[in-house]
A and B are shown apart, each in its own frame.
Chain A
Amino acid sequence: MSAIPRKNVEEKSPVGKRGDGHRMHLMLCAGTGCVSGGSYKIKDALERELAKHKLTDEVAVVMTGCNGFCAQGPVMVVQPDEIFYQRLNEKDIPYLVEEHMLKGRPVEKFMYTRPVEKSAVPKMSEIGFFQKQRLLALRNRGLIDPEVIEEYIARDGYKALAKVLKEMEPEEVVREMIASGLRGRGGGGFPTGIKWKTCREAPGEPKYVVCNADEGDPGAYMDRSIIEGDPHSVLEGMAIAAYAIGSSRGYIYIRHEYPLALERLEKAIADAREYGLLGENIFDRGFNFDIAIHIGAGAFVCGESTALMASMEGRPGEPRAKYIHTVEHGLWDRPTNLNNVETYANVPVIILRGVEWFTSIGTGDVSDNPWGGSKGTKVFSLVGKVRNTGLVEVPMGITLREIIFDIGGGIPNGKKFKAVQTGGPSGGVIPESLLDLPVDFDQLTNVGSMMGSGGMIVMDENDCMVDIARYFIDFLVDESCGKCLPCREGLKQISRMLNDICSGQAQKGVLKLLERTCNTVASCSLCALGGSAPNPVLSTLRYFRDEYEAHVRDKRCPAGLCKDLITYYIDPDKCNGCMLCARECPQNAIEGERKEPHKIQTDLCIKCGICRDVCNRDAVLVR
């Protein structure tokens, strides 16, 4: 097996194909081990030297996934000759480029002969789940002990803070963030730099920096994982924001359901204070900043900026009208910058690696408009009917198909993919026909969903779209704060209509009324909770209207899920009379002799589905 499969070369970079003009490719490892060994410094040195010898058109530098030779890192494979260099150092590069790339003489002293591989264990870069991921916000995942501040520092932690305090004016930091095109990872997608700029320029003292860790979407746990695995990345991001904005006070609003995250955050803040990385006169540069934790009770609406701030002030977590911006009148009526956990975790990387590098990842062009694209990566929690569930960080612009099938490994149990729900209760459902959609803020909004904080719930053919919409609406009925009428009453009406549809009691014309109510709630609600609440209904109506119509017109649930509309029965041709279902049935509703086809007594059946789950012959069917 070659160190880097050819397939990989071609996928990763179009220059791998013939006729591109490059005679040589330098495949430099960007695995965790090699990056901490300095592979990006080597990349810069290579590019510098290649330019010096005017070889840029002939030789391309390509960053690749891990080779599995981390102990010899940083490693580089020269293609097409398959020459493997190891333990490279920045200082070696001028010599290497001159000898090998210019004069064509491979340099033996840097070469490494790979041992014959004994093991059939694949490499990380060959595992579908990891192959297409790219870790920025999660750069330290699984690598550092989150409770040891020195381990964060050892992986370039607090260097970005040192850099801004030593070399950059606050305005420069703001300009850098605007140029980077970083957009809010909590879901809104508002350009972070613009927010910082507005807050910086807003009159009023003191200013506050707040971190929104009130992650409430069902099935989403990106923020929890970042805080648990790498709390200092959030603290450093907040400190940089504070410097840029001119604030000396920060808060983290985190829900009490995250005890481990809370514990690690408290330890991280205490350690950072001990080292003088929080507190007064940080790095002796005259900059003061400290962070306190505010524990929320777990109300979904408190993820909304104004409700969050009301909750912090000790008032009920209710939002207010949006025309007053929190960057100008936020916490205690002072200018307040609120960003999400993942947004802050991205900040140190952007400062250290620079705008040019960051904008090379992602979609669109943000050079003169921060809304012009989606740059960097996004973390998703991939859950539901998918083989590999977990936390995935992918570059913006990757397709849903790649996330669900290449990373997620497809749908388990031979079932068919039906839809994917993104953006949580505020998001929408995306059907199979849109699987090749590149994932970024604007594309998801265009198809009626949204990026949201990053929950991604995969659904298969057995999921009923009306039932899904009902689930999210019922969640929001519970979570609506009740302050404004459209959200409080409208959602209840929507929920009632959906329940009628699911139970087969809906009248003709209900879908029109449902749509109208949804549009009213969306346009008249006070905050984003109500404003986006109808999305799960509207998007399922848009893409799965026939399923709604089957419920209303034919009193039939095509997915076989809505209990009032289905009957369980046993296919006599398939049943071999094993008695398994009869034994498991909690109602004793299944009759039949051993080795004879069984029958379900419909009047006793409570449609729990246990018989279908236990049957080895798929003989239990739904009508």
Chain B
Amino acid sequence: MPRLKIEDLDKIVEQKKKTMSLRDGAGRVKITVHMGTCGISAGARKIMAEVMRCVEESGASDIVVTTSGCAGFCSREPMMTVEVIEQAPVKYVELDMKKVNIIFDEHVMKGNIVKDYALAVGSEQTL
């Protein structure tokens, strides 16, 4: 990695949007598994492995899988966020292997939110 100049920050912002933001071309779906200590102790590593397996099995190349820290709602872990392009992100809570598979088939592949496992759509108020 090169040493950054102040102007480089904006370049990284632009570049990174392409891989972070679906609107800017990152892919069709972004799945974020929340992996703080709390999430991991509730089983987030297994959830992550199952998501990876689902993606591999589907053969899809337009799904971005990423991790993040604690989403705050520790009593409802493990959690993941599914964002399909042109739609609001959806947070799923209290996940297990079965739920991950259903969410993957229904929401990720067909675009239907799985109401029974979803906590909410949208994002939090920041700043």
**B interface: dominant SS:** mixed
Mark each residue of chain A from 357 to 396: 1 if its CB lies under 8 Å from any CB of chain B, else 0: 0000000000000000000000000000001111111000
Q: Is the CB of B126 within 8 A of A40?
A: no
**A-contacting residues, B1-52, CB 8 Å:** 1-6, 9, 12-13, 15-17, 20, 22-23, 32, 34, 36-38, 40
Mark each residue of chain A from 132 to 164: 1 if its CB lies under 8 Å from any CB of chain B, else 0: 011110110111111100110110101100100
Q: Which of A135, A271, A274 is B127 in contact with, Cβ under 8 Å? A: A135
Q: Categorize the interface residue count of chain A.
A: 35 or more
Q: Which of B72, B85, B119, B123 is A33 in contact with, Cβ under 8 Å? A: B123
Is there a chain B Cβ closer than 8 Å to A68's Cβ? Answer: yes
| Docked pose: A63 CA to B9 CA in angstroms | 27
Q: Is the CB of A277 within 8 A of B4?
A: yes
Expressed in whole angstroms, the minimum distance between the Cβ of B114 and any Cβ of chain A is 9
Which one of B53-61, B63-71, B94-102 is at the A interface?
Answer: B63-71
Given that A141-B72, A142-B70, A349-B127 are contacting pairs, would A123 and B121 also be in contact in the complex, using a CB cutoff of 8 Å? yes
**B-contacting residues, A254-270, CB 8 Å:** 258, 260-261
A151 surroundings in chain B (CB, below 8 A): 16, 20
Q: Is the CB of A145 within 8 A of B124?
A: no
**B-contacting residues, A215-269, CB 8 Å:** 221, 224-225, 228-230, 258, 260-261
Q: Is the CB of A124 within 8 A of B91?
A: yes
Q: Which of B1, B36, B71, B127 is A30 in contact with, Cβ under 8 Å? A: B127
Mark each residue of chain B from 72 to 108: 1 if its CB lies under 8 Å from any CB of chain A, else 0: 1111100001010111111100000000000000000
Q: Is the CB of A150 within 8 A of B15?
A: yes
B1 surroundings in chain A (CB, below 8 A): 271, 274-275
A122 surroundings in chain B (CB, below 8 A): 120-121
| Docked pose: A63 CA to B76 CA in angstroms | 28
A274 surroundings in chain B (CB, below 8 A): 1
Q: Which residues of B contact A (CB under 8 A)?
A: 1-6, 9, 12-13, 15-17, 20, 22-23, 32, 34, 36-38, 40, 66-76, 81, 83, 85-91, 113, 115, 118-127
Q: Which residues of A contact B (CB under 8 A)?
A: 30-33, 35, 40, 63-71, 119-127, 129-130, 133-136, 138-139, 141-147, 150-151, 153-154, 156, 158-159, 162, 165-166, 221, 224-225, 228-230, 258, 260-261, 271, 274-277, 283-284, 349, 353, 387-393
